[in-house]
Amino acid sequence: MAELLQALASGLMVGSLYSLVGLGIVVIYKSTHVFNFAQGGLLMVGAYLAWCFMEQVGLPIWLGLISGLASAVMIGFLIERFGMRKLVGQPILSLVIVTLALQAFIDGIVTLFWGDNNYLVYPKFLPPNPVEFLNIILSLQHIIIFFITMFIIGLFIIFFKYSKWGLDMRAVAEDHQAGMCMGISTKMVFILAWVISTLLAYIGGVLLGSINGVSTTLHQIAANCFPVVLLGGLESIPGVLIAGLIVGILEYISGLYLDPIVGASTREIVPYIILVLVLIIKPYGLFGLVRIERI
């Protein structure tokens, strides 16, 4: 029983990070209908940038984090302005392929500057001491991260639901032309989407980096986020939140019960199996927007 609770708790912690990274993909998909395969790369480059500002440049921790944040915003802006803007009006597939290229490009840049596969460690900015609660042992760091991610996701739910910009973004996501006719600047919406997305990738990268250390394997976390995003329904923010937690928990539970039976690690495949099963029953994902068709 304690094992199960422990798995649930750890799953929630990891799942919240999946939700956060997945949210970045959802924001871009919602407003531009582009599936951003480079989210993992953005996450990795964010983690490296924060490390670079703190350790290589030698800034104090808070300043290093803020500088990293600012450069992440910059990167998002540049990607939209010089990568995606040129392709507006082209088939969506070409834009999706560009994000794949971006992923490869970022991989190369990171390897060029910071080398391959060396684990870099942040100066400690979150307390790692363990906390015991109901026979579960969790590090305080994980708990803080969980609440940070929940807070940020909550913030975005409110942003999209009630703010003027959020409404514009949802409107443009539905119909670019009609949005333009209403006087919404689609360029601003696209820039905003990419900036928000890189920002989320940066936060996710720093939080993950503070747990596992910074390395080039970080971008693989995004591979775990793809099933999360699809499970949540691609366009739904509450969907990606819940799907992230589900996948996180399932990974740990399968690790607990399936691994001894199979005799190998099942963590990586379980999310995809669940995804396939869910998509058979609900093709739009758990909370996806069902196409409204009136005949």
Partner 1 sequence: MLRLNNVEVMFNKVILVLRGVSLHVPAHSIAALLGANGAGKTTALNAITGLIKTELGEVTEGTIEFEGKNLLRMSTEEIAQSGLVQVMEGRRLFAHLTVEENLRVGARAKREKSSMKEDLEMIYGYFPRLRDLSNATAGYCSGGEQQMISIGRALMGHPKMMLLDEPSMGLSPLLVKEIFRIIKAIHEEKGAAILLVEQNAPQALDIADYGYVMENGRIVLDGTQKDLKENEDVKEFYMGLSEVGKKKSYREVKHYRRRKRWL
- The contact set with partner 1 (CB under 8 A) reads 89, 167-168, 170-171, 174-186, 289, 292, 294
Closer Cβ to partner 1, 165 or 257, answer by number:
165
Q: Provide the minimum distance between the beta carbon of 212 and partner 1 in the complex, in angstroms, as a whole number.
A: 38
Say which residues have a Cβ less than 8 Å from residue 169's Cβ, sequence separation at least 6. 27, 30, 31, 160, 189, 192, 193
Q: Provide the minimum distance between the beta carbon of 235 and partner 1 in the complex, in angstroms, as a whole number.
A: 8
Q: Provide the minimum distance between the beta carbon of 5 and partner 1 in the complex, in angstroms, as a whole number.
A: 38
Closer Cβ to partner 1, 121 or 180, answer by number:
180
Q: Provide the minimum distance between the beta carbon of 167 and partner 1 in the complex, in angstroms, as a whole number.
A: 6
Q: Provide the minimum distance between the beta carbon of 90 and partner 1 in the complex, in angstroms, as a whole number.
A: 11
Closer Cβ to partner 1, 176 or 219, answer by number:
176
Closer Cβ to partner 1, 142 or 176, answer by number:
176
Instruction: Please tell me the distance from the alpha carbon of residue 270 to that of residue 246, in angstroms, as a whole number.
Output: 11
Which residue type, as a one-letter code, is found at position 223?
A: A
Residue-by-residue DSSP string for 86-131: GGTTS-HHHHHHHHHHHHHHHHHHHHHHH-SS--B-PPP-S---EE
CA angle 47, 52, 53 (to 5 degrees): 105
Closer Cβ to partner 1, 72 or 184, answer by number:
184
Q: Provide the minimum distance between the beta carbon of 227 and partner 1 in the complex, in angstroms, as a whole number.
A: 24
Which residue type, as a one-letter code, is found at position 179?
A: G
Phi and psi dihedrals of 139, rounded to 5?
Answer: -85, 145
Contact yes or no for 81/70 (Cβ under 8 A): no
Q: Provide the minimum distance between the beta carbon of 188 and partner 1 in the complex, in angstroms, as a whole number.
A: 9
Closer Cβ to partner 1, 132 or 293, answer by number:
293
Instruction: Please tell me the distance from the alpha carbon of residue 32 to that of residue 24, in angstroms, as a whole number.
Output: 12
Interhelix angle 186-212/61-78, rounded to 10 degrees, is 140
Q: Provide the minimum distance between the beta carbon of 242 and partner 1 in the complex, in angstroms, as a whole number.
A: 18
Closer Cβ to partner 1, 81 or 267, answer by number:
81
Closer Cβ to partner 1, 263 or 294, answer by number:
294
Residues constituting the chain: 295
Strand partners, 42: none
Say which residues have a Cβ less than 8 Å from residue 281's Cβ, sequence separation at least 6. none
Q: Which two tokens stand for residue 106?
A: 């970022």
Q: Which two tokens stand for residue 12?
A: 């929630």
